[in-house]
Every structure is written in C-alpha cells, then in structure tokens.
C-alpha cells in the first residue's frame, strides 16, 4: 500500500506511485510516513537541498559578488523554504520525473527569490526614474551606431508613452531601463514573477505593433521568419 495514504492526504495517485523509480519511491515513502522515519527523511532532504542551494548560489555569484557568509545565509534560507514548499506539495507529485529533479526546481526557485531580496540591500536603483540616456550602454552600442539609435529610441519612448498602462510602464522602466531584476521587482511590488512577465508580455506586443505601424521594425520578430 502506498505510504502516501498515511500523511500525504490523498497522496500521489496509484498510477503515479507505479511510475516511480526506486529512489523516488523511497523519498515519498519517507515523507508520507509518520514519526522518526518522516523526521529522518526531512532531515536528509534538507541536507540535499542545502547542498544544491550552495552550489547554485556559487554558480550565480560571478554576477552577485557576495561574500561567503552571505552566500551561505541565502543557501540556508532557500533550502528551508524549499523544504516547506516540497512538504506541502508532495501530494501533488505525479511521478513523471525523479523526485529529486522535482524537488530541485523548488530550491532553485527559492535561491532566485532570496537573491532578488538581496538586490535591494546592495543597490540604490530607483524604480521610477527613467534612465533613457543610459540605455545605449546597457545595450552595448558602439559610438557610430548611436545616430540610428537616437531615432529608434525616440520612437520607442513615444510608443511607451502612448500605449503602455501605468503599471506596464512602471515595469518597463524598472526592468528594461533601470536593470532591476524581475525577482527583486516582484518582491518590491508584492507580486509574482509570472504576473510581471504577463504584464510585460502584453506591453511588448503593444510596443511592437506601434513601432511596426510606423515602419521601425517588422510586425513579426526576425527570429520567427
């Protein structure tokens, strides 16, 4: 009998249970059992998540430039929150991947969130100040390209004024002009990465339509043609 019937609510379906490889089954058995076996499994999973989180923070640190204690702090916070998320959602695990692969996406996501939080401690970026003049440096334009750029950016700026909602404009300014990471912005605005992405997705479509109507770019991305 699947241990999922004990402490994981309805637990993974019987079909999912049958799909599991032996290692994933062992994880689920442990998480869905009670008492010391469950405690031992949670402790083992926590150690694994800390290891993965440390490795991930290290992988990203070339751009973060954080010191050792800060890195470790982020890794431990990410592992703790991921463990809670995994424990809360394990009943929904469908056994279509290895349990550890499924678990890793939670801890990697938590690393992103913690790094986003850290951004505001180290950067004094304004959310609303529009840094249009710094855009050529962000884009990496060479000096001889800047004449063409001036026309293009003037058109883009007009399209932003004309077509974006206040919310979309705020997101565009923060992310595109001022370089605020999406996860940092999501935390500051108390929203989600997905909500920001969707709002900007719609905004980007409107901007393309506007600029295409005036002949600045094609109405379909060049990579689609």
Q: Which stretch binds another protein (CB under 8 A): 2-10, 24-32, 83-91, 191-199?
A: 191-199
Question: DSSP readout, 164-178?
Answer: --HHHHHHHIIIIIT
According to the binding rule CB under 8 A, does residue 27 interact with another protein?
A: no
**Binders of another protein among 54-93, rule CB under 8 A?**
55-56, 59-60
Report the distance separating Cα 151 and Cα 199, nearest Å.
Answer: 26
Residue from 43, 89, 101, 179 binding another protein (CB under 8 A)? 101
Which among 28-36, 69-77, 79-87, 97-105 is the span making contact with another protein, rule CB under 8 A? 97-105
Helices 99-122 and 68-89, packing angle to 10 deg? 140
Minimum distance from residue 74 beta carbon to another protein (Å): 13
DSSP 130: -
Considering only the stretches 26-34, 35-43, 122-130, 211-219, report the one whose residues sit in contact with another protein under the rule CB under 8 A: 211-219
| Helix (H) or strand (E) segment spanning residue 147 | helix 146-163
Regarding 192 and contact with another protein (CB under 8 A), the answer is yes
Taking alpha carbons only, the member of 217, 207, 212, 219 closest to residue 158 is 207
């Amino acid at each position: 009998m699947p241990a999922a019937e004990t402490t994981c609510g309805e637990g993974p379906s019987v079909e999912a249970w049958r799909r599991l490889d032996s290692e994933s089954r062992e994880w689920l058995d442990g998480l869905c059992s009670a008492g010391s076996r469950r405690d031992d499994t949670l402790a083992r999973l926590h150690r694994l998540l800390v290891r993965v989180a440390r490795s991930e923070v290290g992988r990203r640190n070339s751009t973060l430039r954080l010191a050792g204690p800060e890195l470790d702090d982020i890794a431990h916070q990410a592992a703790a929150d991921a463990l809670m998320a995994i424990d809360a959602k394990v009943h929904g695990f469908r056994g279509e991947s290895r349990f550890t692969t499924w678990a890793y996406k939670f801890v990697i996501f938590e690393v992103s969130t913690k790094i986003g939080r850290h951004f505001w401690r180290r950067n004094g970026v304004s959310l609303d100040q529009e840094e249009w003049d710094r855009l050529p440096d962000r884009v990496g334009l060479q000096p001889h390209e800047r004449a063409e750029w001036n026309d293009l950016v003037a058109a883009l700026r007009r399209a932003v004024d004309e077509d974006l909602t206040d919310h979309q404009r705020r997101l565009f300014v923060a992310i595109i002009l001022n370089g605020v990471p999406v996860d940092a912005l999501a935390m500051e605005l108390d929203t989600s990465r997905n909500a920001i992405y969707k709002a900007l997705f719609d905004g980007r479509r409107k901007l393309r339509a506007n600029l295409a109507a005036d002949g600045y770019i094609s109405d379909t991305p060049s990579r689609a043609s």
